[in-house]
Structure 1
Amino acid sequence: MPLVSGRAERAAQRVARLAESVPPGSRLGTKEKLRKLCGVSVGTFNEALRLLQARGLVTVKPGPGGGLFSAEQSPMVRLGNSFLALDARAGDVAEAVRIRDALDPLLIEDALWHASPADIAHLRRHVTAMEHAVTAADPVAFVQANWRLHAAIASISPNALLGSFYTHLLDVIESRTRTVLPAGDQPLGDYIAHRHVLHRDLVDALDRRDREEAMRLVQEHNTALGTVASPTAPLDPERPGRGCLTPGP
């Protein structure tokens, strides 16, 4: 789940407005026509298309007469997309993170009850990716692996509304993230190393079905950082508004 470029986000928003202006099932045009309309490269438009499909706004049909079509949105998709109307102000993104933090314990409860051995193995692969990013001193890769881990935990929940709502919040946070910068007195490398250990221990607790330890780690995860910064201040890798990520346009 790579970081989303500002151009891809703007292209997605332009096509989304077009899709919302016509009845569901309407043909919007070919990929090439819409790419030229947005004035972006093929790679950037493919990135925008990924966002549009993830948000349930368009469908793609191959062959003659194919192209992009406006999608029928379920109430759950409309609910999630309402969060994507947030602008790029750090305070708005911080609110999305605050809601995400409040949902974390619910998803951990579900994972404690429903995670299969295959689910745990999947979570460990994301933790390993985080470890590799720490070793490579690559904070951007660390953030990406971290978000993938949180999305994977959400996917375990049998509550489709909760899981969809949470992943839409992650989408908001990711789509408003531009880059990673050092912040505070603690070296960024030390900080992400500490966060890797915290997430590794959380997955271990899920594997053991250790509810007390899992909940303690979630509490530490969501309270270990400082106060919300101003929109122009550096932001935190996991919590925009608190330390190391800067919001994109």
Structure 2
Amino acid sequence: MSSAPKDASGRSGRVGAGTTRAEAAARHILALAEGRGAGVRLGTKEELRAQCGVSVGTFNESLRLLQARGVITVRPGPGGGLFTAEQSPMVRLGNSVLALDAQQTDVAEAVRIRDALDPLLIEDALWHASPADIADLREKLADMRRAVETEDPVAFVHANWRLHARIAAISPNPLLRSLYSSLLDLIESHTLAVQPFGDRPLGEYIADRHRLHGALVDALDRRDRAEALRLVHAHNTSPEAADAPPARLPAQP
């Protein structure tokens, strides 16, 4: 059986660098589900939480990850618990990306593919973003701004990815959303540090990136297609374009 992740109490297993306990617990459940048909009972929530050695809150976060990826279903009541889900071709594609993550694939390629998908997501956001979506994007921008003000580049990068994930969530295309989310998960799981570009101060760089993303959200709010696509092109092709350049993404040991 797969080794369980280590909780704060020091129970069985160990979490690798760059992997949260929730992600490690999700991988443990995923290993239990692999190779089984749809509808197979894996155990009760409490049984599996105890196997993973994590808190209730952490385990619930793991369940949200697995349910979002279409790996499991949770059934309440007597005889309930965690069951393997019927996997559509879309879910299998998402899980193949997650499998690459576990194999420590080239993160630079994940960044490149993510950048290639950005214009598709921007097109969808231009058509489908609601006022509530725009308001939520501005909240994510505020998180980025606070990271700039506190000169916390790691918090900035994670807030930036939350903004991109929220833009992706606007798309009505489930395949595009699933693939993009999987790529973000892969990139984030391998990000161990944030370092400056050459001689340029890192604080200046993240402030510029915050302004660029703010302008992008403004363009989405105005439904300004030309400007939004110009900004996402600048976002991905300028000399300092990537929010998480490959040079800053050492693979997990």
TM-score bucket (shorter structure) = 0.7 to 0.9
Shift of 1:77: 1.0
**1:152 correspondence with 2:166:** yes
Query: 1:91·1:241 contact (CA, 8 Å) conserved in 2?
Result: no
Q: What is the alpha-carbon distance in structure 2 between the residues aligned to residue 216 and residue 203 of structure 1?
A: 13
In the other structure, the counterpart of 2:244 is 239
> Which amino acid in the other structure matches residue 172 of structure 1?
L
**Equivalent position SS for 2:73:** strand
In the other structure, the counterpart of 1:166 is 180
What do residues 118-155 of structure 1 show as CA deviations (whole Å, max 9, x unaligned)? 22222111111111121122223222221121122122
Count of equivalent residues: 236
> Which amino acid in the other structure matches residue 172 of structure 2?
P
Which one is further off, 145-154 or 62-71? Answer: 62-71
Shift of 1:43: 4.9
2:65 is aligned, of 17, 28, 51, to 51
**Equivalent position SS for 1:85:** helix
In the other structure, the counterpart of 1:232 is none
> Which amino acid in the other structure matches residue 210 of structure 1?
D
Listed as ranges, the matches of 1:1-249 within 5 Å are 5-87=19-101, 92-177=106-191, 179-184=192-197, 185-225=199-239, 238-243=243-248, 245-248=249-252
Structure 2 CA distance for partners of 1:226 and 1:137, relative to 1, 3 Å: closer
Query: 1:240·1:246 contact (CA, 8 Å) conserved in 2?
Result: no
Which one is further off, 11-20 or 84-93? Answer: 84-93
Shift of 1:240: 4.7
> Which amino acid in the other structure matches residue 188 of structure 2?
E
Q: What is the alpha-carbon distance in structure 2 between the residues aligned to residue 46 and residue 103 of structure 1?
A: 30
> Any stretches of 5+ residues in structure 1 without a counterpart?
228-235
> Which amino acid in the other structure matches residue 151 of structure 1?
A
Q: What is the alpha-carbon distance in structure 2 between the residues aligned to residue 115 and residue 141 of structure 1?
A: 26
Which one is further off, 202-211 or 44-53? Answer: 44-53
> Which amino acid in the other structure matches residue 162 of structure 1?
L
Q: What is the alpha-carbon distance in structure 1 between the residues aligned to residue 227 and residue 25 of structure 2?
A: 43
How much identity, in percent, do the aligned residues show? 68
Query: 1:59·1:71 contact (CA, 8 Å) conserved in 2?
Result: yes
Query: 2:67·2:73 contact (CA, 8 Å) conserved in 1?
Result: yes
Q: What is the alpha-carbon distance in structure 1 between the residues aligned to residue 203 and residue 111 of structure 2?
A: 22
Structure 2 CA distance for partners of 1:108 and 1:181, relative to 1, 3 Å: closer
Structure 2 CA distance for partners of 1:41 and 1:225, relative to 1, 3 Å: farther
**Equivalent position SS for 2:106:** helix
TM-score after normalising by structure 2: 0.81
**Equivalent position SS for 1:107:** helix
CA RMSD of aligned residues (A): 2.6
> Which amino acid in the other structure matches residue 122 of structure 1?
D
> Any stretches of 5+ residues in structure 2 without a counterpart?
1-17
TM-score after normalising by structure 1: 0.82
